[in-house]
Structure 1
Amino acid sequence: MSEHPDSALVRRGYAAFSAGDMETLAGLMTADCVHHVPGSHPLSGHFKGRDNVLGTYYAGMAEQTDGTMTVDLERVMADGRGHVISVHRIRAQRQGRTIDENGALFFTIVGGKISDIDECVADIDASDAFWS
């Protein structure tokens, strides 16, 4: 059985993110894409617009972790109606601290592109402590 196109889109996004290929990643998102980040740390909140998602949030994570962050995709599940859930493991180091936890993203796909990303983390307090 072949993979659903929405799941394949999300997998391409993870591959581009892991490779630092922001040009490819940008092509997978709508111009008005929004990424919602939980918690109460400097990188939490709502990043509105593809350029803000890529240039502020994703670049901010890379900068804050001195490029040590890795994201290993574990699962992708689609509902066939424009929604995909991914489960991953994030590992990074920052200012003498380490994070190693599970996370998930809930994607909304419109017209074959990612238009909305809701992020969930296994431990919000640990995430806040790491990114603060």
Structure 2
Amino acid sequence: MMSEHPDCALVRRGYVAFSEGDMETLNSLMTADAVYHVPGHNPLSGHHKGRDAVLDLFRRMGEETKGTLQIQVEAVLTDGRGHVMAFHTARADRGDRGIEVREGLFFTIMGGKVTDVDLCTEDLDQVDAFWS
């Protein structure tokens, strides 16, 4: 197997830290002004600006799903110029609702840190219903 590109390795470290609830590592992987964009029309939608706001979003996702949120990474791809696309399946329960949905994250990386993340999903309506 070829060695993994550093940007892909960075994103994979982020996925592991997210899955383990390791906020300290997640904090270290982002710039202070990082932005995480969540599509749709639900309470989590919008532009989460700044590392603290992004970490708060992640904490909220864990709390809202009572720790049931699981992410299975399918692919991590790079262009070698500071962009990474990652594809995963997210599964979670929230109250009487469950979800299983394929999603993608588009990362912008500068200086070995994540500066911007765009979340895309295969089913906006399902995601909106789950988080609303």
- TM-score after normalising by structure 2: 0.98
Give the equivalent residue in structure 2 for 1:109.
109
Aligned-residue CA RMSD (Å): 0.5
SS at match of 1:91: strand
Measure, in 1, the Cα distance between the counterparts of 2:41 and 2:95: 18
1:63: how far off? 1.0
Give the partner amino acid of 1:59: R
- 1:11-22 equivalences under 5 Å are 11-22=12-23
Structure 1 stretches of 4+ with a deviation exceeding 6 A read none
- For 2:63, the aligned partner's letter is E
CA-CA distance at 1:95 after TM superposition: 1.3
User: Structure 2 regions of 5+ residues with no counterpart?
Assistant: none
**Aligned-partner Cα distance in 1 for 2:54–2:81:** 24
Q: What is the letter of the counterpart of residue 72 of structure 2?
A: D
Alpha-carbon offset, residue 74 of structure 1: 0.8
The residue aligned with 2:122 is: 122
Within a 5 Å distance, the mapping from 1:9-88 to structure 2 comes to 9-55=10-56, 57-88=57-88
Q: What is the SS of the residue equivalent to 1:39?
A: coil
Distance 1:2 1:68 in 2: 32
CA distance in 2, matches of 1:64, 1:17: 15
For 1:41, the aligned partner's letter is N
When normalised by structure 1's length, the TM-score is 0.98
Pairs aligned (count): 131
- Residue 8 of structure 1: SS of its match in structure 2? helix
Give the match's secondary structure for 2:36: strand
